[in-house]
Chain A
Amino acid sequence: MTTTAKTPDRIDAILRACRLMLRMNRARPDARKSEVLYYEMLIDYCTQLATARQQGRFVAAHTVFFPCEVLYAMDIVPMHTETTSWMTALFLGQYADLLAAGAEQGLSSEICSPHRGLAGALSIGALPRPDAVLWSNMVCDNTAKCGELLMKITGSPGFFLDRPFQRSDEEMKYFVEELRDMVAFLEAQSGLKMDWGKLSETVRHMDEQIELFREINRLREAVPSPFHPQGFLELVTVDYLFPGRPKATEYLQTLRDELATAVAEHRGAVPKERYRLMTLFMPPMYLIGFLEKLSREYGAVSATEPFFCNWGEGRLDPAKPLESVAQKSYMLPESHMFGPMSEKAIGEIVESARRYEVDGAIYYADVGCRHTCATIKLFKDALSEIDVPVLTVDCDVVDPTVTSEGEVREKLERFFELLDDRR
């Protein structure tokens, strides 16, 4: 079934919102240069998407954690479905019609809202119709199952990338073959050829970027925290949308230098740091502005987000580009939270709590995300052993009807009171 667009897509509106943010940032005397670069990258991303059809370029819609570096190397325009749908919630405050359209596709409210939202977005034409749909099991079963529906909604051909949970030599070989099959599929569909030299260059940048992520993590150990309270979302977005892009390397280098200066000057990101927090899983997108404000009001910083910032060990080899793409997927910070939960992953969380000297942890339990909710007790118990209290906030990452700003404020204020009481 091919669904024709019922409404104009929202990429132009997101683009306008990003341009406004950029102008506001440039006008601020204390604006971070890295933040300016960040919005410039978002503008580039949206511009590419907005003009792709006109320029006759091939657009591939892909789900979260999909190795879109391969697409860049083939000169294919990537459309990160979850992030682009989130951006409509974050920048435009529009989510209800996307979720309602998702419901019309038979996706009930118990299903993860990013998936409901992206199916809805594609069905009403809020996102441009892609030429191909790519999805994988690198995240969760929900993502593994969503591709067929997206193919049906868009009428586009699709490819499912099967990545084994574990990382033995045998499984790595299998995954590299899967990536090779995906390249062949994309070549057949788009008529474009893989530029292996460009992929090697992309891998070289990715390797440098991972090293920069690690450096940034080390700088963030400083007390007071040099990074702004919800800043990790920038880091996450950069890796989701721009892996291996030269501008992403420039952004990370700039951010690294800014943080190094702040640490040397003993300058914190909030006026008076009182609480150092660990963020587990994703806070609701529609509350990011509010959380940033609340963080400044209470002097609460997210000092570490192990599931989004702790990269696994290893280096990438530009001489073996496809193998490196496969290897990176196992090094992703997010890979610790998906698939079977290991003792090692729990140990790393505890280690992060110590390393970043956190006072408490906030566990954002997305009601539609089964694996997030299934691990609450494991993390809570492990952190309580080192006397780190955990606040569980039942929420939905996109849908504000589940948890209101007032409820979250109430819960966080109570938690801050608990932290004060323990001093």
Chain B
Amino acid sequence: MRAVGLDIGSLSTKAVVMGGDGILSSAVVLSSDSAESSAKAALQQAMAKASQDGEIYVVSTGAGGKSVSFSRQNKAITTCLARGIHYLLPEARTVIDMGAESITVVRINERGRVSDYGNQDKCAAGTGIFLQQMAKLLRLSMEEMAVVSTKAKARAEITGTCAVFAESEVISHIHRDPPTPVEDIVAGIYISMVHRIMSQLQRVGVKKEVAVTGGVAANRGLVSILEEEIGHTVLIPPTPELAGAIGAALIAKENMIQGAS
């Protein structure tokens, strides 16, 4: 039997298949309207990659985790992030998960268990979807945004409290005479997101080392501004978007062992 972790996010669904020696395979698919079908699609891809078709033990997590009928257990994303990051980066004590629709900060102990957490899910400001919207507005890809931000000489002032206001502020920067340089606008967008993250981080408390997970972690420009604000470098696992699914797979594996003993 194989242990499988499924993280059903609002933008993407992640699957991780785990064997005795560690991760066998993983897959990321775009989430559809149905959490069940997204979970099946991700699972099929991951199982095919691992050349597995036997019995599985599934633990699910994420926004759609409860809707997966073939999952044996649903766990909170905070628990899964803690386990996942402890497996990937055992020295990490704080995880910042920058997801599509929320920011979650988890403080973990030396056993990979959650000590405390906080999350912001009331406004799109500071989330991955907000960043996508901004990229669209500036007609840049996410990668281009990251590169452009490194050339900024100043940071345009953009509110961090409301995604709608932030969007109109960006538009006004574009149409200003003379227009605010695009690199300064991008840096302004990043700093507004970082301020949002910092308020969660300060609520929970920063403990070194700090790891960053979630799809947004791949954005180097944003991460470097985050490092500036925190005052030290952060750790990013090789596949930051998979941390939650890896944690779920680890829990599935633990459950299988406990069930067998």
A residues within 8 Å of B by Cβ? 376-377, 380-381, 384, 389-390, 392, 394, 407, 413-414, 417-418, 421-422
User: Are B203 and A421 interface neighbours, CB within 8 A?
Assistant: no
Q: Report chain B residues within 8 Å CB of A381.
A: 205
**B116/A414 in contact, CB under 8 A:** no
Q: Mark B91-122, 1 if CB is under 8 A from A, else 0.
A: 00000000000000000000001111110011
Contacts of B117 in A (CB 8 A): 414, 418
The 8 A CB mask of B66-77 against A (1 = contact, 0 = none) is 000000000111
Q: Are A394 and B79 in contact, CB atoms less than 8 angstroms apart?
A: no
Also in contact, A418 and B118, with CB within 8 A (given A377-B203, A380-B203, A392-B203): no
Q: Cα distance A380–B114 when bound, in Å?
A: 15
Whether B203 and A418, one on each chain, are in contact in the complex, defined by CB atoms closer than 8 angstroms, is no
Grouping DSSP codes into helix (H, G, I), strand (E, B) and loop, the A interface class, with mixed when no group exceeds half, is: helix
A422 contacts across to B, CB distance below 8 A:
113-115
B213 surroundings in chain A (CB, below 8 A) = none
Whether B203 pairs with A413 at a CB distance below 8 angstroms is no
Q: Given the complex of chains A and B, what is the CA–CA distance between A125 and B82 in angstroms? A: 53
Contacts of A413 on B, CB cut-off 8 Å? 76
When distances are taken between beta carbons in the complex, the residues of chain B under 8 Å from A380 are 203
Closest CB of chain A to B80's CB: distance in Å? 10
Tell me which of A376, A377, A390, A421 has the highest count of chain B C-beta atoms within 10 A of its own C-beta: A421
Q: Can you list 8 pairs linking A and B with CB atoms under 8 Å apart? A: A389-B115, A389-B116, A394-B122, A414-B77, A414-B78, A421-B82, A422-B113, A422-B114
Asked, given contacts A376-B203, A377-B203, whether A384 binds B116 with beta carbons under 8 Å apart, the answer is yes
* B205 & A418 in contact (Cβ 8 Å cutoff): no
Question: Which residues of chain A are within 8 angstroms of B114 by Cβ–Cβ distance?
Answer: 417-418, 421-422
Say yes or no: A417 contacts B203, CB within 8 Å.
Answer: no
B131 to chain A, nearest CB (A): 23
* Complex A-B, nearest 10 residue pairs according to Cβ-Cβ distance, in ascending order: A414-B76, A421-B113, A418-B114, A417-B76, A389-B116, A417-B79, A421-B114, A414-B78, A421-B79, A422-B113
**For A390, what are the chain B residues with a Cβ–Cβ distance below 8 Å?**
116
Quote the shortest CB–CB distance from A375 to chain B (angstroms). 12
Instruction: Give chain A residues whose Cβ lies under 8 Å from the Cβ of B79.
Output: 414, 417-418, 421
The answer to whether B113 touches A392, judged by C-beta atoms less than 8 angstroms apart, is no
Q: How many A-B contacts are there with CB distance less than 8 Å? A: 38
Given the contacts A380-B203, A384-B205, A389-B116, A418 and B78 also touching, CB distance less than 8 Å:
yes
Residues of A close to B118: CB separation below 8 A: 392
Contacts of A376 in B (CB 8 A): 203
**Number of contact residues on B: which range applies?**
10 to 19
A373 to chain B, nearest CB (A): 11
A417 touches B115 (CB 8 A): no
In the complex, the chain B residue whose C-beta lies closest to that of A419 is B114
Task: Please name all residues of chain B whose beta carbon is closer than 8 Å to the beta carbon of A417 when the two chains form the complex.
Answer: 75-76, 78-79, 114
A308 CB to closest chain B CB (Å) equals 24
What is the bound-complex CA distance between A390 and B79, given in angstroms?
A: 16
User: Which B residues from 105 to 163 make CB contacts under 8 A with A?
Assistant: 113-118, 121-122
Supply 8 further A-B pairs (C-beta < 8 A) apart from A414-B76, A418-B114, A422-B113: A390-B116, A392-B203, A394-B122, A407-B121, A417-B76, A417-B114, A418-B116, A422-B115
Q: How far is the CA of A417 from the CA of B114 in the complex (A)?
A: 9
The docked-state distance in angstroms from the alpha carbon of A285 to that of B107 is 31
Cα–Cα distance between A421 and B254 once the two chains are bound (Å): 13
Determine the chain A residues whose CB is within 8 A of the CB of B75 once the complex forms. Answer: 417
Cα distance, A29 to B11, chains bound together (Å): 51
* Contact mask for chain B residues 44-83; partner A; CB cutoff 8 A; 1 contact, 0 none: 0000000000000000000000000000000111110010
* Binary CB contact string for chain B from 163 to 189 against chain A (1 if under 8 A, 0 otherwise): 000000000000000000000000000
> What residues of B have a CB within 8 angstroms of the CB of A418 in the complex?
76, 78-79, 114, 116-117
Chain B residues with CB under 8 A of A377: 202-203
Q: How far is the CB of B204 from chain A (nearest CB, A)?
A: 8
Smallest beta-carbon distance B43→chain A, Å:
23
Q: Considering only CB atoms, which chain A residue lies closest to B120 in the complex?
A: A394
In the assembled complex, the CB of B145 is this many whole angstroms from the nearest CB of chain A, namely: 30
Residue of A nearest to B113 (CB): A421
Please name the residue on chain B nearest to A417 by beta carbon.
B76
Q: Which residue of A lies closest to B104 (CB)?
A: A414
Q: How far is the CB of A396 from chain B (nearest CB, A)?
A: 12
Q: How far is the CA of A252 from the CA of B121 in the complex (A)?
A: 42
Interface residues of B in 187-216 (CB under 8 A from A): 202-203, 205
CA distance A380 to B78 in the complex (A): 18
CB contacts (< 8 Å) of B205 on chain A: these are 381, 384
Bound CA–CA A418/B114 (angstroms): 6
Q: What's the Cα separation between A201 and B79 when bound, in Å?
A: 56
| Complex Cα–Cα for A413 and B78 (A) | 11
A276 to B58, CA, bound (A): 31
Interfacial chain A residues near B203, Cβ < 8 Å? 376-377, 380, 392
* Closest-CB distance, A185 to chain B (whole angstroms): 44
